[in-house]
Structures are given as structure tokens and as C-alpha cells.
Amino acid sequence: MATSQHAFQPNIETSQHVAQVKATQPAIDLEHVSVSQLLGRDYLFINTKEVELPLKNPGVMYGLLDDLIQQLGLAETHTVAVSVEESPIGTLSFTRHDLTWYKQKICRINSIAITHVEQHEFMEMIWRCSTAALIY
């Protein structure tokens, strides 16, 4: 039976083990992220053409977004994560990721494709007004 290289090892302190695991997790490059603040919310837009979000691996996804939100200094409970994909002909599609928090960590993500015309227009307006995260 194969084991993960990050399996708990009793001869390593727990904090060292956590640091080892965290160091090998991928990170989202800020050049593919933008932020817009509107109506008391921080909208965090992630370009999915450049960043592959691990939607089928919730633990990794939680960690990626936790780290990104912390790195940008955004308020957890007021942050809305949105993935943006632009088709080759310029059509935009948005997916809102509703984040559930427990003890200042993401514990659940509910992803919802934005298909309603008015919601899509609103999301596109917020995205077009967003600022590159590298400036944050």
C-alpha cells in the first residue's frame, strides 16, 4: 500500500509536519487575481484561464483561498470568491464560490454558476471595476 510522503511521522514535531505540508501546497499567483470592493463586500476574482482551481479537492481549494484571502488582507466574512473564464471569442462566464467559515478557516465552498442575465451583468460590472491584486 502506497502512503503519502506527508503522512504523519511521530519523530517530527506536529508544527514541522504542518509546515512541510503547507510548503508543498500550490499557491494562486497574484497576477491572475483582482479585487473589487462594493457594498461592504470584497469580490475576489480569479482568472481560471490561468489558474486551475481544484474544485474536486476541497481541502486544497480551502487552503488556496484561505491563503489568498489572508495574503491580501481581506476580511474573511466579507469576501466573495468568483472565478472568471473568458472564451476565445470574449464571452465571460462567472462562478461564485460562497465560502463558509469556521474558526477563521474555510470549511465549505458552494460553487454557483452565474447564469441569470442581471446577475451576470452585475458581476461583469464589478469585475471590470476590479483592481489587480498585485497592487493590494
The whole domain housing 43 covers 26-135
Q: What integer is the mean pLDDT of 96-102?
A: 92
Phi first, then psi: what are they for 132, rounded to 5°?
A: -55, 135
Alpha carbon of residue 42 to chain centroid: 12
Return d(Cα 105, Cα 6) in angstroms, integer: 21
Q: Give 38's pLDDT tier (boundaries 50, 70, 90).
A: confident
Tell me if 5 is assigned to some domain.
no
Tell whether the model's pLDDT for residue 21 goes beyond 70. no
Weakest-pLDDT range from 3-17, 33-47, 49-63, 85-99: 3-17
Q: How does pLDDT run across 112-128, given as a tens digit for each residue?
A: 999 999 999 999 999 99
Adjacent-strand bridge partners of 45 = 34, 82
Tell me if 32 is assigned to some domain.
yes
Tell me what pLDDT residue 68 has. 92
Q: pLDDT over 70 for what percent of the chain?
A: 79
Residues sharing a CB contact under 8 Å with residue 93, sequence separation 6 or more, in sequence order? 84, 85, 87, 113, 114
Grid cell digits, residue 8: 504523519
Tell whether the model's pLDDT for residue 50 goes beyond 70. yes
Whichever domain contains 40, its CATH number is: 3.30.70
Total domains in the fold of the chain: 1
Tell me what pLDDT residue 135 has. 60
Please answer whether residues 3 and 98 qualify as being in contact, where contact means their C-beta atoms are separated by less than 8 angstroms.
no
